[in-house]
Amino acid sequence: MSISRILLLLILSCTQYAVLAQNNYLYGLISTPPTIPMNTSTATTRLGRMDLSTGELIAVSPNSLSSISSATGAALDPYSQTYYYETQTEMLSVDLTTGLTTAQVLVSNPIQPSYFDNYRYNTSDSTIYGLARFSTSTGVGQAQGEIYLASINPTTGVITQISPQSVGAMYTVAGNAIDPHQMVYYYSLSGHIIGLDIYTGLVYSDQVINFPEGGMYFENYTYNCADTTIYGIIRTNTAPPNEFYLGKIDPTTGIATRVSQQVIPYFTYSINGSSTIDPINGVYYFAAKSTAVTPAINVVVGVSLATGAVVFEQCMTLPNEAVNSRYFNLMRFPLDCAEAFPARANPNSSSAVLPTNSKSALKVAPNPFEQVFSVSSDELIEGITLCDAQGKIVWQQVAKSNKLEVETSQLQSGIYFLEVHTSSGIELVKVVK
């Protein structure tokens, strides 16, 4: 393999695409209630963005895109700069720059009519994943029937079921998350956090959520690529007055722990998947009602992932409009997990890029490491790349050796992925500093 070929592989492996707009905005839907009660046709929905530097809320769409929007999910593709959402029957693709609809298609399932719920965009394979739901009955906060892990093509509206059989009868509307490194989709059901293997659609993990520091519900959660952790809100009560804390959960054990040391001062919040993370500055954003004034006002809230303290609060109102005249929901941050890549191979693929069994007896030690670790193999190492949890290349080297040392004094503590090219192929190792 030529040196130029190795360099090309190293560059492409951690940067699949170029993110077109690295900005400081939250994108979401600005919605207004109907002017005539019970007449949804008079309601409006526009793509909006909130400037996180100034707090200004801007309507990107010049006109209403639809009268209603479904609260079952939203997706933002940072590579094509497109925001996706659903009405009751259609999926809309909206340009982030112009706010105009670029596609509007009927959602359809070739197997049998179904809904497509609880979805997010997976940046590591540029696919929207959610739950195909065949509804037989409904309940408060729950969707019942049969559910399957599925994907959707937003340009055609066609749903593709991934699960070979139903993974359950319902899901709890408490949020969802995608781990783009392990390729696992997470959702909730009756006090459980359940992971579905994106490759196979089968149950990857199923844990009862427990709260050693107190709590009853873990909701409105999302995945943070910067530290490979799922964050959400821990709620302590079933009815007001509620107490909320920013929390995090280990989906392999179900243990939910508090990040916030003090109660977050809000009495209600959206649980329709309207949470997103700025992994660069370490802030979790969600929609809530503030208790600081009476009557309470609709606000966008940012909470520090490090301290659990509120670091951002902004009213959802557009300039020169009455307070609480609008809502800003289904928010997404463009750089949330941008340029992530899978660290687990597809178990169904005979030509997996990331082999589950090492062919070259690859060894990385020590791991975890402090300043230096070594990479050794019984086969010739042709090149290695070290990427951070967001997929950004932080170190790379072309080599012709069986052993290399990687010096990392310039790197911060955290999780990294080491990609090693040998004659047997490409192997990926998770390393921790």
Query: 425: closest CA among 395, 383, 388, 389?
Result: 383
Of 106, 109, 128, residue with least CA distance to 119: 128
N- to C-terminal Cα separation, the chain: 31
The whole-number pLDDT of residue 367 equals 83
Domain 17-332, CATH class in plain words:
mainly beta
For residue 37, pLDDT beyond 60: no
Look up tokens 């599925």; give the residue.
150
* 8 A C-beta contact, residue 426 and residue 31: no
Distance separating alpha carbons of residues 230 and 268, to the nearest angstrom: 21
195 closest CA partner among 160, 163, 235: 163
Confidence band of 284 (pLDDT split at 50, 70, 90): very high
Is residue 123 predicted with pLDDT exceeding 70? yes
pLDDT recorded at residue 354 = 44
Structural tokens at position 431:
């390393």
Number of Cβ within a 10 Å radius of residue 132: 25
Q: Which fold has domain 1-16+341-433?
A: Immunoglobulin-like (2.60.40)
Least confident of 228-242, 257-271, 327-341, 386-400: 386-400
pLDDT higher than threshold 80 for residue 138: no
**Domain 1-16+341-433 shares a fold with domain 17-332:** no
Q: Which pLDDT does position 324 carry in this prediction?
A: 54
User: Is pLDDT at 230 greater than 50 in this prediction?
Assistant: yes
Does the pLDDT value for residue 20 go beyond 50?
no
Question: What confidence tier does 359 reach under pLDDT thresholds 50, 70, 90?
Answer: very low
Whether pLDDT at 19 is above 80: no
Q: CA-to-CA distance for 302 and 306, rounded, in angstroms?
A: 12
Residue 163's pLDDT band (cuts 50, 70, 90): very high
Would you say residue 103 has pLDDT above 70?
yes
Q: For residues 425 and 169, which has the higher predicted lDDT (pLDDT)? A: 169
Q: Which pLDDT does position 216 carry in this prediction?
A: 93
pLDDT at res. 240: 63
Region 66-85: what's the mean pLDDT?
92
Q: How many CA atoms lie within 13 A of 292 on its CB side?
A: 11
Q: How far apart are the C-alpha atoms of 24 and 64, rounded to whole Å? A: 24
Going from N- to C-terminal start, the domains of the chain cover 1-16+341-433, 17-332
The three-state secondary structure class of 296 is: coil
Query: For residue 382, what are the contacts with CB-CB under 8 A and spacing of at least 6?
Result: 1, 6, 398, 399, 400, 421, 422, 423
Residue 14 is predicted with a pLDDT of: 38
Structure tokens, 160? 């593709």
Q: CA of 174: how far to CAs of 72, 217, 315, 318, in Å?
A: 10, 9, 24, 28
Summarize pLDDT for 207-221 with one digit per residue, the tens. Answer: 999 999 999 999 999
Those residues whose C-beta lies under 8 Å from the C-beta of residue 288, and which sit 6 or more positions away, are 266, 268, 269, 270, 298, 299, 300, 301
CB 360 within 8 A of CB 427: yes
146 vs 432, residue with greater confidence: 146
* CA–CA separation, 133 and 406 (whole Å): 48
Q: How far apart are CA 14 and CA 341, in angstroms?
A: 7
Environment class of residue 413 by beta-carbon count within 10 Å: exposed (0-12), middle (13-18) or buried (19+)? Answer: exposed
Looking at every residue in the chain, the average pLDDT score rounds to 83
Percentage above 90 pLDDT, the chain: 46
With left for phi above 0 and alpha for psi between -120 and 50, is residue 214 left, alpha or beta?
left
Angle CA 96–327–177, to nearest 5: 65
- Residue 282: per-residue pLDDT: 92
What pLDDT, on the 0 to 100 scale, is given for residue 321? 60
pLDDT tens-digit readout, 175-204: 899 999 999 999 999 999 999 999 999 999
As a whole number, mean pLDDT of residues 86-107 equals: 96
Separation of alpha carbons 75 and 73, rounded Å: 7
Asked if residue 334 has pLDDT above 70, the reply is yes
What are the structure tokens assigned to 245, written together? 């804390």
